[in-house]
Structure 1
Amino acid sequence: MPAGLEKSLLRFYEYLRSERELSLHTQHNYKRQLTTLAEQLVELGVTDWQTVDASWVRQLASKGMRDGLKASSLSMRLSALRSFLDYLVHQGEIKANPAKGVSAPRKARPLPKNLDVDEMDQLLDVNEDDPLSIRDRAMMELMYGAGLRLSELVNLDVRDISLSKGDIRVIGKGDKERVVPFAGLAREWVGHWLKVRGQLAAGDEPGLFVSKLGQRISTRNVQKRMAEWGQKQAVSSHINPHKLRHSFATHMLESSGDLRAVQELLGHANLTTTQIYTHLDFQHLAQVYDEAHPRAKRGKR
């Protein structure tokens, strides 16, 4: 390694050891990351830190991505470089830190899992007639039948539900109100629940779904009950409210292919959110494009 690169690194390692008194493990991580970066700079023809600018740092980041580094690993590497270059600025060896404006790509959001239709039927095959079981099936049918968020479900009041019209007034993120339809089994089981709700609810409780204590049910209680029903119904995957919402979105999209309608039903402000949420693949988008865009249609003469 050229002396112009190595000498500054050795001083930095001593600084980490004697002044910052970092653990040996942390010192080793800094050394490993910075040695790799220095070796890459040598391959690019760089021989001293004074010539490293933002474009060089971006090249290092790009190389890390090409080498298959995870976003978290690349972020750690760039963080080590920023700390080292901050040290050089403090020592007066360079005027500014060229890595300040360069960041690693965001971590990929893990895609939520959905249940297939058979698994949903298995989960929702609850026919016990006690009030808590009726309540639980009504909650699950409504989450899957209307694609509600957990917070939206627990915040529903009795007055927000119209069985005659088959719609629900929902207050979503940012206090945005939307009206969503619900029908079929969701509508039927909410009706069953309303008939027995008085056996549990306190007289002045406005919440649609209540606990056995008579008050509005909590999000934690809903999560707990759905997980228990997943086990009781012998569904292979862990059940949580988000999974029911995601299954709604996925099944609606698979059946309709109407991304914009699914966006409205889910209450997403941006279409991009819906694309990620429903893990659309390119083939599906291409099919929608080919079938819908007038210029694409002309190409099929």
Structure 2
Amino acid sequence: MLLTDSFLDYLLYERNYAESTVKRYQMDILELQKFGEEQIEELTPSGVDAELIREWIIFMMDRGCAPATINRKLSSLRTYYKFLLRRGEVEVDPLQKITGPKKTKPLPVFLREKDMDRLLDDIDFGEGFEGCRDHMIIEMFYATGMRLSELIGLDDEDVDFSTSLIKVTGKRNKQRLIPFDEELKRSMREYVNVRNEAVSVRSDAFFVRENGKRLYPSIVSSLVKRNLSKVVTVKKRSPHVLRHTFATAMLNNGADLGSIKELLGHESLATTEIYTHTTFEELKKVYNQAHPRA
């Protein structure tokens, strides 16, 4: 018998785990036991070795278990064998050199360039200050790739119209400069004029509410979701999607990864490389749709 009642009592009474959690540990261990007993007639805790664990992992993967599920089951077994080692019931932890399957990172969601063109050129954002501001926010995200926190944190003094540079304060207060073109410059000047006319008392913030105070993250997230819904049906419609859209558009139009890394404020090039996978997936879709033998 692989499972010991003393382990379940330990989780329940010493670790104060919920009964549902203890039940999950029990099921994970019994699942390994069932698999192992198909190969070993009478399975004991000391009879489990690394080879059996690896075969169990392959078995679960073949059945379509997600990496997260497999790693959770391995975590249950690791806790169990640490318990057995402390009590001297086994001499070796068979999971010591076991590495679970890696979780596959989902590719970033992004909008096609034609959808962004339609949103910025054809969609009505409404009249007055709020409509102008909301359009400016969408355009700013798409033109610069900045994060939500960076956009909210922008002050008037961070936008230098003479040099066409925006100073952005990113993670860990690290600052970087993002250049902007004539089109964005015209849009920003128009927004500033409308804002200054509509809002009499303001803070130092570049983007403000009607009362002149800095925007909340929830306000920006809500307006982005509302306006993206006008051109796309993708489930995720957040400011970060516009950041992904900026990076993908830059890559598709010839920018090198190093430049995109600097514009996005990534610490590592490896983080930026996810966009090459995104572009490749898009190329595969185009190929499958267009090629007669695809």
**Band the TM-score falls in, shorter-chain normalisation:** 0.7 to 0.9
Change over 3 Å in CA distance of 1:27–1:153 after alignment to 2:
closer
- 1:254 has 2:278 as partner: no
- 1:236 has 2:233 as partner: yes
Q: Which residue of 2 aligns with 1:296?
A: none
Please give the per-residue CA displacement for 1:184-220, whole angstroms capped at 9, x wherever unaligned: 4322211111112223546461111111111111211
Structure 2 CA distance for aligned equivalents of residues 128 and 23 of structure 1: 52
Using the size of structure 1 for normalisation, the TM-score is 0.77
1:138–1:193 CA contact under 8 A, matched in 2: yes
Please give the per-residue CA displacement for 1:230-253, whole angstroms capped at 9, x wherever unaligned: 34x354335321111111111111
Question: Which is worse superposed, 239-248 or 270-279?
Answer: 270-279
RMSD: 3.3
Q: Which residue of 2 aligns with 1:219?
A: 217
Q: Which residue of 1 aligns with 2:31?
A: 36
**Which runs of structure 2 are paired with 1:104-115 in the superposition (5 Å)?**
104-115=100-111
Change over 3 Å in CA distance of 1:236–1:188 after alignment to 2:
farther
**Which runs of structure 2 are paired with 1:86-97 in the superposition (5 Å)?**
86-95=82-91, 97=93
Change over 3 Å in CA distance of 1:252–1:97 after alignment to 2:
same
Change over 3 Å in CA distance of 1:145–1:283 after alignment to 2:
closer
2:143–2:184 CA contact under 8 A, matched in 1: yes
Structure 2 CA distance for aligned equivalents of residues 259 and 11 of structure 1: 55
Structure 2 CA distance for aligned equivalents of residues 138 and 9 of structure 1: 62
Q: Which residue of 1 aligns with 2:120?
A: 124
Q: Which residue of 2 aligns with 1:186?
A: 184
* Residue 258 of structure 1, CA deviation: 1.7
Structure 2 CA distance for aligned equivalents of residues 168 and 119 of structure 1: 25
Please give the per-residue CA displacement for 1:266-293, whole angstroms capped at 9, x wherever unaligned: 11111110112553466999xxxxxxxx
Change over 3 Å in CA distance of 1:255–1:198 after alignment to 2:
same
1:202–1:215 CA contact under 8 A, matched in 2: no
Which runs of 5 or more structure 2 residues have no equivalent in the other structure? Answer: 284-294
* Residue 165 of structure 1, CA deviation: 2.5
* Residue 10 of structure 1, CA deviation: 5.1
**Which runs of structure 2 are paired with 1:127-138 in the superposition (5 Å)?**
128-138=126-136
What residue identity is the alignment partner of 1:33? D
Structure 1 CA distance for aligned equivalents of residues 132 and 280 of structure 2: 41
Structure 2 CA distance for aligned equivalents of residues 53 and 17 of structure 1: 24
2:170–2:265 CA contact under 8 A, matched in 1: yes
What residue identity is the alignment partner of 1:176? K
Question: Which is worse superposed, 49-58 or 150-159?
Answer: 49-58
Structure 1 CA distance for aligned equivalents of residues 55 and 143 of structure 2: 49
2:108–2:278 CA contact under 8 A, matched in 1: no
Which residue, out of 258, 265, 268, partners 1:267?
265
Change over 3 Å in CA distance of 1:25–1:156 after alignment to 2:
closer
Change over 3 Å in CA distance of 1:31–1:141 after alignment to 2:
same
Structure 2 CA distance for aligned equivalents of residues 159 and 220 of structure 1: 24
SS at match of 1:180: strand
* Residue 120 of structure 1, CA deviation: 0.9
* Residue 55 of structure 1, CA deviation: 6.0
* Residue 77 of structure 1, CA deviation: 1.2
What residue identity is the alignment partner of 2:145? G
Structure 2 CA distance for aligned equivalents of residues 62 and 273 of structure 1: 29
Which runs of 5 or more structure 1 residues have no equivalent in the other structure? Answer: 1-5, 286-301
Change over 3 Å in CA distance of 1:137–1:110 after alignment to 2:
same
1:154–1:216 CA contact under 8 A, matched in 2: yes
Please give the per-residue CA displacement for 1:153-207, whole angstroms capped at 9, x wherever unaligned: 1111111112232221111112221111111432221111111222354646111
Percent identity over paired residues? 31
Structure 2 CA distance for aligned equivalents of residues 189 and 18 of structure 1: 62
Structure 1 CA distance for aligned equivalents of residues 282 and 233 of structure 2: 28
* Matched length: 278
* Residue 64 of structure 1, CA deviation: 3.7
